[in-house]
Amino acid sequence: AVDNDETIDHDYYIENCLKPVVKEIRKQRKSNGTKGIKLLHGNASPHRHSYVINYLTEEGINIIPHPPYSPDLEPCDYWVNDYIKQNLTDQPDEKSLARGVSKLIKNIPEEELKKLLTNY
C-alpha cells in the first residue's frame, strides 16, 4: 500500500509494481518467462521514465506505445477496473493482490470479452 504522503516515482514503480509482476510472470510461465509479454501502461511520468523503459527492455517485455490521447481505450480501462473490483475480494498484501489480479484476468470468461468488443 502507498502511504498518503508517498510519491510514486519511477523507482517506486519498478520496485513495487513491475518487479513483483515480472516475478509472478516468470513463476507462472516457467518455460517462456517474459517472452512474448506486451505491456500497455499509461502516460504517467513514472511509466515513461528511461529507467522504467530500460528495466522492461532488459526483462524482455515489449512496451506497446500509448497514444497521447485515445478516448476509445478508456471504456476498456474502466471495464477492466470495474470487473476486477466486482470479482476480486480484499487481499491481505500486495503479493496476494498481484496473484489475484493475474488469475482473474487470465480467467475472464469469453462471453465477457465478447460483450466488451460489442459494446465498445
pLDDT tens string 11-57: 999 999 999 999 999 998 888 888 889 888 877 889 899 999 999 99
- Domain end marker among 44, 66, 88: 66
The answer on 56 and 3 residing in a single domain is yes
The answer on 51 and 5 residing in a single domain is yes
- From CA 98, how far away is CA 21, in angstroms rounded? 7
The answer on 100 and 48 residing in a single domain is no
DSSP character string of the chain: ---TT----HHHIIIIIIHHHHHHHHHH-TTTTTTT-EE-----HHHH-HHHHHHHHHTTPEEPPPPS--TTTHHHHHHHHHHHHHH----SSHHHHHHHHHHHHHT--HHHHHHHHHH-
The answer on 58 and 75 residing in a single domain is no
pTM here is 0.59
Looking at residue 19, what is its pLDDT?
A: 95
Range of the domain at 75: 70-120
pLDDT-derived band at 75, boundaries 50, 70, 90: low
Report the domain count for the chain.
2
> Any idea which of 24-33, 54-63, 98-107, 110-119 has the lowest mean pLDDT?
110-119
Query: Which residue reads 471504456 in cell numbers?
Result: 75
The answer on 12 and 24 residing in a single domain is yes
The answer on 52 and 14 residing in a single domain is yes
